[in-house]
Amino acid sequence: MNVGNLNPDTFAQTLASTGITVRCGPFVTRIISELPELTAPIQLLYSEFPIIEDSLVDFHVRVKAKSGLSHRLRSHITFTLDREEAFFPFHRSLALPLFEWGMNWCVYGNAHQFEMIHGAAVQRGKQTLMMPGVSGAGKSTLCAALVSRGWRLLSDELAIWRPGEDVILPLARPISLKNYSIELMKSFAPNETFGPYFGNTAKGALAHMRAPRESVRKMDEPSAPTHIIFPRYTAGSGPELEAVSKRDAFVRLSEYALNYPVHGKEGFNSLVDMIEKCDCYDFRYSILDDAIRAFDELS
Amino acid sequence: MRDGVNLIWRRLGDDYVVFNESSGQTYVPHPLSEWVLREIEVSEKTLGSLADQLVQDAELDPEVAEYRVREVLDEFNTMGLIEPGHKFD
Amino acid sequence: MNYPKSQDRTKAGRALATSQTLLTALKTPHRVTEFSLDEWSLLIRQAQRTKLLSRIAEQSKEHGTFDQLPFKVADTLQGALYMGSNNRRMIDWEIKSIQRALVEVDTPIVLLKGGAYVVAGLPAANGRIANDIDIMVPEPKLLAVEAALLAQGWSEIKFSDYDQRYYRKWSHELPPLRHEMRKTVVDVHHTILPRTSRLKPDTDKLWQHAVDVPGTGVKTLGPQDMVLHSSAHLFQDGEVSFAIRDLVDLVDLLRHFGAEPGFWDGLVDRAYEHQLQRPLYYTLRYGQMLLDLEVPDVAAQAIAAAAPAKPLANMMDRIMPRVLLPDDPNMPSITRGHAASLLYLRSHWLRMPPWLLAGHLTTKAVMQLYASYLQWREEEELEEEDTEEEEAY
């Protein structure tokens, strides 16, 4: 039974009462929310994910109106993990962005059985690309573009692996797009499914693209990275792949590491092993079609 | 080098990256620091002897050698890799 | 102890029902293989809340149960194991760094609390997550120590001016110092309770009994003093809510040192010397009640005199276990929140002497406090009634 299979009213009722439990890759999350703003978008963006019974739940999550100051209007909402609040209260018009950021926060704040970096990961055939970066440098746009052209999405935001292993575990959660990327992707990939548009978050305009069905279906198929690519959208630039020394890749990659020192020697060796096996590049681009072609030619 | 500091050296391409198991710090040394680190890992060295060796092997001006080595040792001191006394030998 | 056990079970017992799995895991680690997935789910959440997950993970490794656990449980515990060993490494390094920074200051250094457990390799250190390092130095050396730390990468955390003055004048610490690069914090003390506290432990005696830790250049308090300090910190000075872990540490210490001859014999007397007999009483009482601590008869009889008067003892027996322990994460308890507030107020009361308090508490506030207690009693009885009804069903 997938999230999308439930009748919308049933989905809303269950979400508001006992909660809906979904699995995204290795993480099982039980979500409870009475907010009507959240029901339809979650059911849309997570439609392909299985609903889980009988599993240990990693994250017990609630998104609800904050009682207190705006009690009568209930205009502000919070995301809590087992009663611990992530961030500060948001305005309820930003329920979905809060939810998505909160889901990421659950992982990078807690899942220390994994090494984690901020970055995207995609796979096609023998190539698995890891693209470190925080939102804004063009990583998500590139990721979305690749995914809409046949690459499998492992993750848009968090590349994770177990220390001592060399494979990245997929999460296949929605890809977040900002500002100009939203319109760009809607015309580049009109057949993909997009969530609602949020005009005024702290980080500009925001919308989400759903992961393709295949990517979600294969969320239990991890993959060892073959390339580490640092993407940078550069206006007017033709597609340029420039080799980066492994040592520099190490330095730059560790800047995006979310929990690097936690795993001690094992984590250090794991990171070095991974980089040893990868070809490392800087990638500058301005036109998505150029980027797709350049990546098609990667060997 | 301080007692109890345990370094792990890994090669990446032509360079090395170093992990200090005791502190959890990672270090990417430049060629001179790499050389100094290896020397003091093997046995105790004084500032003077390190500088002298540099003058010999790399044909550096003695003043420059001493300055550079002192710089590196200062850095190692801040990172807690060496006993404070080493600086003043 | 003063009260028959059966009475305890009725009053405190039911309230502890939701913590049974946690307590079982702590008392009898080998039994975790019997837990269902639901029990594990509850246990993990409660252990996360009380910072005990790393400990439970390490116990699982030690007792050889780890490989028998369901995959997701083991995976979660693995994360906690990494956090535990990372924290341990951080504390080890931090202690060495502090000592290195103070090498020119010619002062003895006593490590307190978690730092002591780590440096002395005590069982209480296993899987323990700590954030700050606490050290004690002789009062005359305080400024020199501060100067040395400030010169070598530590700096003051920014408090308001008022708070700074409070720390220096009224408290027993320099303001905490944070290392600029490593972001770790060190608290420098010269005694073990606030200067303003009603209780005045004998600092000279603490130094007399301090023990060198071989090969480290630092000291710890003597075993009895260590127990008394941790007791005072838990039941006198600090935050009791969800603090079951501190009691677990204390029981670890008592069991570890209890094996040494002479430890139990002098413990209660030592407590009276430091005026810390009441916190010791609570440690032994709740250690027994919640964690099956075995207290030798001689010590039990000696400490009985340190118990509070019956009404207060009764109230503490009802409140303390509930506040120390976590509630059901699916149904957070309101009355627990009230009970926790009461104890929080109490710790403030204990920290300040009467003449300082007079400036803070008015009659009105005292009355509100009492009204709060009555309300809590009422609500708790209502909750118990509800539970009885459910169970009758």
The span from the CA of C12 to the CA of C148, in Å, is: 50
One DSSP character per residue, A113-124 reads TSEEEEEEEEEE
Predicted local confidence at residue B63, as pLDDT: 86
C353 has pLDDT over 60: no
Pairing of strands A27-33, A20-24: antiparallel
The span from the CA of A139 to the CA of A118, in Å, is: 10
C251 has pLDDT over 90: yes
From C378's Cα to the closest Cα of chain A, the distance in A is 25
CB of C70 less than 8 A from some CB of A: yes
pLDDT tens digits, residue range A64-95? Answer: 988 765 555 678 899 999 978 887 889 999 99
Q: Do C72 and A55 touch (CB under 8 A)?
A: yes
pLDDT tens digits, residue range A20-71? Answer: 999 999 999 999 999 999 999 999 999 999 999 989 999 999 999 887 655 5
Predicted local confidence at residue C376, as pLDDT: 64
Give the torsion through C-alpha atoms of A107, A109, A110, A116, to 10 deg.
Answer: 60
pLDDT tens digits, residue range B42-68? Answer: 888 888 888 888 888 888 888 888 888
pLDDT tens digits, residue range C359-389? Answer: 444 555 555 665 666 666 666 665 555 555 4
- Give the long-range contacts of residues C349-356, CB within 8 A, separation 24 or more: C350/C197, C350/C198, C350/C199, C350/C236, C350/C237, C351/C194, C351/C196, C351/C197, C351/C237, C352/C196, C352/C197, C353/C196, C353/C197, C353/C198, C356/C170, C356/C196
From C90's Cα to the closest Cα of chain A, the distance in A is 10
The span from the CA of C218 to the CA of C195, in Å, is: 24
Predicted local confidence at residue A98, as pLDDT: 95
Predicted local confidence at residue C2, as pLDDT: 33
C1 has pLDDT over 50: no
C203 pLDDT band, cuts 50/70/90, is confident
Which amino acid, C223? P
Task: Return the beta strands (E) in A37-146 as ranges.
Answer: 59-65, 76-81, 84-91, 115-124, 127-132
Predicted local confidence at residue C359, as pLDDT: 47
Interface of A with B in 190-249 (CB under 8 A): 245-247, 249
Look at residue A167 and give its three-state secondary structure.
coil
Predicted local confidence at residue B88, as pLDDT: 42
Interface of C with B in 78-107 (CB under 8 A): 86, 89-90, 92-93, 96-97, 100, 103
What's the sign of the alpha-carbon dihedral C70, C76, C79, C80?
A: negative
Q: A91 forms bridges with which residues in the sheet?
A: A76
pLDDT tens digits, residue range C19-78? Answer: 999 999 999 999 999 999 999 999 999 999 999 999 999 999 999 999 999 999 999 999
Could you report the predicted ipTM of this complex, rounded to two decimals? 0.94
The span from the CA of C135 to the CA of C187, in Å, is: 6
CB of A112 less than 8 A from some CB of C: yes
CB count within 10 Å of CB A67 equals: 10
∠ CA C109-C110-C112, nearest 5°, is 140
Predicted local confidence at residue C10, as pLDDT: 44
C193 has pLDDT over 50: yes
Question: The tokens of A30 are what?
Answer: 């039980």
Question: The tokens of A126 are what?
Answer: 């023998």
Question: The tokens of C31 are what?
Answer: 């039994």
Match 């299985």 to its residue by tokens: A50
**C96 to chain B: which residues are within 8 Å by CB?**
2, 4, 22, 80
Whole-prediction pTM = 0.89
Match 């680690």 to its residue by tokens: C29
**A275 to chain B: which residues are within 8 Å by CB?**
12
Count of residues making up chain C? 393
B69 has pLDDT over 50: yes
B7 has pLDDT over 60: yes
Q: Determine the average pLDDT of the residues in C170-180.
A: 76
Q: Which residue of C has its CA nearest to B25?
A: C182
CB of C48 less than 8 A from some CB of A: yes
B1 pLDDT band, cuts 50/70/90, is low
Predicted local confidence at residue B27, as pLDDT: 92
Predicted local confidence at residue C383, as pLDDT: 59
Tens-digit pLDDT string for chain A (299 aa): 999 999 999 999 999 999 999 999 999 999 999 999 999 999 999 999 999 998 999 999 999 988 765 555 678 899 999 978 887 889 999 999 999 999 999 999 999 999 999 999 999 999 999 999 977 668 999 999 999 999 999 999 999 999 999 999 999 999 999 998 999 999 999 999 999 999 988 878 999 999 999 999 999 999 999 999 999 988 888 899 999 999 999 999 999 999 988 999 999 999 999 999 999 999 999 999 999 999 999 87
Which amino acid, A294? A
Match 């504390």 to its residue by tokens: C91
Query: How much is the CA Rg of chain A, to the nearest whole Å?
Result: 19
Angle between helices C263-273 and C277-291 (to 10 degrees): 140
Residue to mutate among B11, B14, B23, B26, with most A CBs inside 10 A, is B26
Task: Give the mean pLDDT of chain C.
Answer: 83
Look at residue A161 and give its three-state secondary structure.
strand
Predicted local confidence at residue C156, as pLDDT: 86
Q: Do A56 and C40 touch (CB under 8 A)?
A: yes
**Segment (H or E) for A201:** strand A198-201
